[in-house]
């Protein structure tokens, strides 16, 4: 699906790859966001969020730290509901609030998720092609290297944007006030202060990408060989994406738990003005979790993570591969025109 011709003219261009990844990101978000909206509403019902407290919100592509607003706020996560479980929450939200409520909070997260996903997937393809010309087409290290480097780059680019977005959301700042706020922070703590929480994100996302792309390329080749096709079908890409995403999610779960603890601590220490020493070190957070809950504490939430990651990876990669296949066929037709 990714390659339909030996000619470089038929391969998708960088712009076409970006369009394919953008479409994949939108479709993935539309499918996965309702799952996290329901999860957040159930969580808020059981343990109401107090002002300044943080929770993690995901659109299927990336996680966002949301800082809770005032008690009298009409925020989407504070809407009243008496839900008995996940299915009951889905039904009642649609019946009482309308189907649109299942995508509450999606627009602001897409603003960051789309450029990050475009950078990530486009860079992966470009790096893969560059490495193939140097290391050979069948080198098994290529997916690991390309996946790690592309994820490292996208995480680094988006980290300051996440900080800025969360500050605007919590304090309701104008752009001028935001500029003054960031300027004073940079003047006091330096430019690196804009990347607070970056290390914990890298520790989770870079290994995840390395494991994901390595397994995805292997599963894809195996299934194509089994079925007897030269390029992956939508179903092959979907199945390979789900399987490789599940494996990567399980292996990197401890880093995901640490990242969530670390980032929420960082934001709560700033919004609530409560000094938290654990914020200074990712490894200190990990030691605290192990001391409090044992090793099993590092694997908390494995089922919800799999339910979110597996379909998100499957939808994203199959849509992306289908998009690239569409553009490859389009380029082939265009090149055959007199």
What is the pLDDT, as a whole number, of residue 16?
93
Enter the pTM of the model: 0.82
Domain ranges (residues) in the chain: 228-269+279-317
What is the pLDDT, as a whole number, of residue 268?
65
Query: Of the candidates 94, 84, 332, 158, which has an alpha carbon nearest to the alpha carbon of residue 231?
Result: 332
What is the pLDDT, as a whole number, of residue 273?
59
Output b/e per residue, 163-178; b: 16+ Cβ within 10 A: bbbbbbebeebeeeee
Mean pLDDT, consecutive 10-residue stretches, the chain (338 aa), reads: 51 92 91 84 76 71 71 69 84 88 76 85 94 86 95 87 64 67 77 77 90 96 91 93 95 84 67 55 78 82 84 95 92 80
What is the pLDDT, as a whole number, of residue 4?
38
What is the pLDDT, as a whole number, of residue 2?
44
The neighbour count for residue 313, using CB atoms within 10 Å, is 26
């Amino acid at each position: 699906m990714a390659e339909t011709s030996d000619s470089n003219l038929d391969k998708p261009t960088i712009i076409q790859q970006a369009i394919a990844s953008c479409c994949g990101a939108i479709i993935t978000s539309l499918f996965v966001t309702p799952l996290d909206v329901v999860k957040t509403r159930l969580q808020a019902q059981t343990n109401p969020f107090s002002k300044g407290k943080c929770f993690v919100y995901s659109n299927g592509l990336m996680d966002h730290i949301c800082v809770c607003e005032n008690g009298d706020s009409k925020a989407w996560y504070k809407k009243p509901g008496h839900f008995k479980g996940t299915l009951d929450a889905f039904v009642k939200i649609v019946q009482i609030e309308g189907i649109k409520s299942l995508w509450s909070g999606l627009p602001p997260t897409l603003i960051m998720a789309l450029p990050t996903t475009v950078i990530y997937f486009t860079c992966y393809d470009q790096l893969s092609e560059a490495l193939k010309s140097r290391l050979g087409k069948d080198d098994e290290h290529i997916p690991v290297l390309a996946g790690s480097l592309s994820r490292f780059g996208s995480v680094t680019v988006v980290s300051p944007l996440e900080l800025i977005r969360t500050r605007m959301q919590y304090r309701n700042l104008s752009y001028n006030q935001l500029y003054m706020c960031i300027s004073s922070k940079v003047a006091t703590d330096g430019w690196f202060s804009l990347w607070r929480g970056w290390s914990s994100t890298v520790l989770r996302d870079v290994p995840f990408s390395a494991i994901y792309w390595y397994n995805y390329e292997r599963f894809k080749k195996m299934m194509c060989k089994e079925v007897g096709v030269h390029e992956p079908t939508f179903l092959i890409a979907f199945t390979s994406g789900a399987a490789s995403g599940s494996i990567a999610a399980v292996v990197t779960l401890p880093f995901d738990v640490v990242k969530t603890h670390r980032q929420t601590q960082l934001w709560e220490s700033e919004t609530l003005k409560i000094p938290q020493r654990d914020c200074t070190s990712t490894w200190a957070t990990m030691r605290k979790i192990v001391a409090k809950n044992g090793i099993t504490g590092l694997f908390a939430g494995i089922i919800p993570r799999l339910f979110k990651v597996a379909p998100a990876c499957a939808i994203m990669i199959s849509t992306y591969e289908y998009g690239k296949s569409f553009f490859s066929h389009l380029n082939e037709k265009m090149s055959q025109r007199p």
